[in-house]
Structure 1
C-alpha cells in the first residue's frame, strides 16, 4: 500500500499506485501509455519524429480509466501533475503524489458534493490528508446519479 508520504517520482510509479487502489477497491482498470515528446499531449510543439525533450529525457504520459461507479479517469502528465475526472467533473493540476489519496477519497465514499444557494451551483469536494481538500465547481446541469447521491 502506498501511503501519502511516499513520493511517486515517475508516471510508472503513479500507474502502479493506481493498480494497487484498483485492486483494493475491486475495480477494473485500463491504462494507455504515451511515450515520447511526439506522443504526449502537452508536447504539441515537438517536431515530426522527435521523441525526446531537449534535455534528452523521454516523457511518459498515461491515461487510466477505472470501471464501475463512479466513472473515474486519471491522466498522468510527465510534469508531476494529473487531471482527474470524476463523473465528468474535471479536477486539473492535482499533484501526482496526491493521486492515490484523491482516488481513495472518491472510492472510499469520502468525497461529496456541496450545494450553494446563491449563486446556484455545486462543488465536488474531495478530502485529502493533512486537512486539505480539493474543490471543483460544477454547473447545475452536470449532476449524474452518483454525484446527486453525494449532495450535502
Structure 2
C-alpha cells in the first residue's frame, strides 16, 4: 500500500500528506501553522521583527492534531524532522519523510509495546521502511491503547 512515501520537501507538502492520511483512516485533523523565524520554535534567537532565515527563506512549522485512537500530535519542524506524540509518548527526531509510514504503522496495527524484565522498561516500537524500527522509551503509565499493544 502506498503510504505517501514521496519526498516531502516542505512543511506544506507534509501537511497535505497528513490530510490525505487522515481522510484514509477516517480521522479528524486540525492544523496550526507557524510561519517566519520569529514564530517557529527552533528560531527563537532570530531577533525581534526578523521573519526570514539568513538565506532569505521563510521557515514554516506546523502542529497537527489527529482525532481518534491513539491520540496523535505531530509537530513538523522546518528542519525536515518531526516530533510525534502517541498517547503521551514523545517520539522526537522522526525524519519528515518517515512521518507517513510511522502513522500508517500506528493506524494499521503494526506498532507494539515491548516489555523488558531486567532492567524493567517498556518501549513503543514503530516499524519503518527499510527494516528499521523506531524505539521509544515509555516514561509514564500505559494508556488503554498502548496497553492493548503490549507484547
TM-score, with structure 1 as normaliser:
0.96
Structure-2 residue corresponding to 1:112: 112
Structure-2 residue corresponding to 1:142: 141
Structure-2 residue corresponding to 1:27: 27
Structure-2 residue corresponding to 1:42: 42
Say if 1:2 and 1:17, in contact at 8 Å, map to a contact too.
no
* 1:125-136 correspondence runs (5 A): 125-136=125-136
Question: 1:52-78, CA deviations, whole angstroms, 9 ceiling, x for partnerless residues?
Answer: 111100000000000011000000000
Please list every run of 5 or more consecutive structure 2 residues that lacks an aligned counterpart in the other structure: none
3-state SS of paired residue (2:104): helix
Structure-2 residue corresponding to 1:8: 8
TM-score, with structure 2 as normaliser:
0.96
Q: CA deviation at 1:142?
A: 2.4
Q: Distance in 2 between matches of 1:32 and 1:90?
A: 19
Give the aligned length: 150
Structure-2 residue corresponding to 1:17: 17
Q: Distance in 2 between matches of 1:49 and 1:70?
A: 39
Q: Distance in 2 between matches of 1:134 and 1:47?
A: 35
Say if 2:3 and 2:104, in contact at 8 Å, map to a contact too.
no
Question: 1:32-60, CA deviations, whole angstroms, 9 ceiling, x for partnerless residues?
Answer: 00000000000010111110111100000
Please list every run of 5 or more consecutive structure 1 residues that lacks an aligned counterpart in the other structure: none
Q: Distance in 1 between matches of 2:142 and 2:41?
A: 28
Structure-1 residue corresponding to 2:102: 102
Q: CA RMSD in A?
A: 1.0
Structure-2 residue corresponding to 1:64: 64
Q: Distance in 1 between matches of 2:84 and 2:118?
A: 27
